[in-house]
Chain A
Amino acid sequence: MLKTFPKGGVHPAENKISADSPIKKLKLPEQVAIPVDQHMGAPAKPLVSKGDKVRTGQKIAESAGFISTNIHSSVSGTVLKIDKVMDTTGYKQAAIIIKVEGDEWDESIDRSEDIVREFTAGPEDIVKKVLESGIVGLGGATFPTHVKLSVPKGKKADVFILNGAECEPYLTSDHRMMLEKGEELLTGMEIIMKALDVNKAYIGIENNKPDAIRHLEKIAADHKDIEVCALKTKYPQGGEKQLIKTLTGREVPSGGLPVDVGAVVHNVGTTFAVYEAVQKNKPLFERVVTVTGTGISGPSNFLVRIGTPVSALIEAAGGLPADCGKVINGGPMMGKALNTIDVPVTKGTSGILVIDSKGSNRREVQNCIRCARCVSVCPLGLEPYLLMSLAERSLWERCEQENILDCMECGSCSYTCPSARPLLDHIRLGKATIINLRKAKQK
């Protein structure tokens, strides 16, 4: 029997229509806008100013704290200005705008296609390199990777998990990476295992990607410490807590971190970036982005420089269809709707999904019929119907007692509700209010 997490989950139509298109390099745009706040934590501090010449891979903004990271230029050219531009969050944020004049890479970067398997770097060197290279979680959470690689004092990790579940419908970037960059991923895993000082690793892949499972099983045969595991296709299999539970049987405690149960999880794209940083000296300035959706004539997986406008990606995949309701940054379950496609691709952009006008309509909300489907699909054992009704009545303390802060916003409840009730909208409101109330109390 296939492994999966024990409670909850849904199975939306997979729609992996771009799964067979190999990763293509997207041509450089005329101009890039690289936001200084692309990660969780403090925004990076710009190191360049108007008129500076920069090269591809050059550090242009530096980490401003432990939870923060560096940012590198994705092109060579001239800094036009540092200005506020709309980014994928829908807010205007500071970004370094560079006029593209070419693609001259910093000469310290190894641009060859050779796979470098041997490495000598020790744990500290690896963590330093990862921070230096500006690597963050590329699954969408954008948590700085060097923080996750530094196991806190008094805690011990004993297992590393490569998250190849890619449980969001439509998205295929990790799938393509596993097929095309398998060797690099295995080396990236060995590097991460070295940094964490663990001897055991799993690769968790949903069984709707049998070619990726076969390929990695084959090439991982001589890595005795790495085990490839086929997982049942069930959303949110790729949720960190669900993946750890599935593969190790351990439950990350409420409010705790994966390392509390000795596990560290990294996404496929992140692990590849670690390989490139340590073995090729290449900082994170490009990533694979799936461009897909209803009406997209050429669903694709592009290797895209950070800062490229989303509109350029959509253009390269055949253009925005006439019937377009929403454009999503990410997958359909957890992605964020964009209010304009004139925003730059950032480190957290795993996919661009177009949804037609009809699919963008929310259905009419009806009374709760207390069918309890939201309770049975919640992978965290919460009661979404209750949280919504408590949040509607501003009963924040009760919300807290009912563990509202455990919610990871996977959306299974809203997805499954037969009355089309906006459960997750209200839960988000409750979470945000409680966090703000806590902050106010501390002051």
Chain B
Amino acid sequence: MELLVALIIGVLTACGVYLVLRRRSFPVVLGLTMLSYGVNLFLFAMGRLTIGRPAVIQADAAGYADPLPQALVLTAIVISFAMTAFVIVLALKARSELDTDHVDGRGES
């Protein structure tokens, strides 16, 4: 499972970096989203990967999943959600204002 999660994080980040380097604003927005997915997953994995363990410690539980990264990831997801929404609105406005979706605000060149 560790390998799979590591691979997913790697692929997400690689896609994100590639897309952020593109010329048009829509791939850049997608790239930022992918990057934040990768980071969130990474943050989550930092609490160690466990299966079927409760997040809250009880006296009779055999072990527990670390609840803190889960809380952190929830916060990070909310933040990246807000950021993505904002970037989409910004990119749309920029496109209608500049008549191009080039990130430099200029046409093809």
- A and B pair up: no
Q: Name A residues whose Cβ lies closer than 8 Å to a Cβ of B.
A: none
Q: Name B residues whose Cβ lies closer than 8 Å to a Cβ of A.
A: none
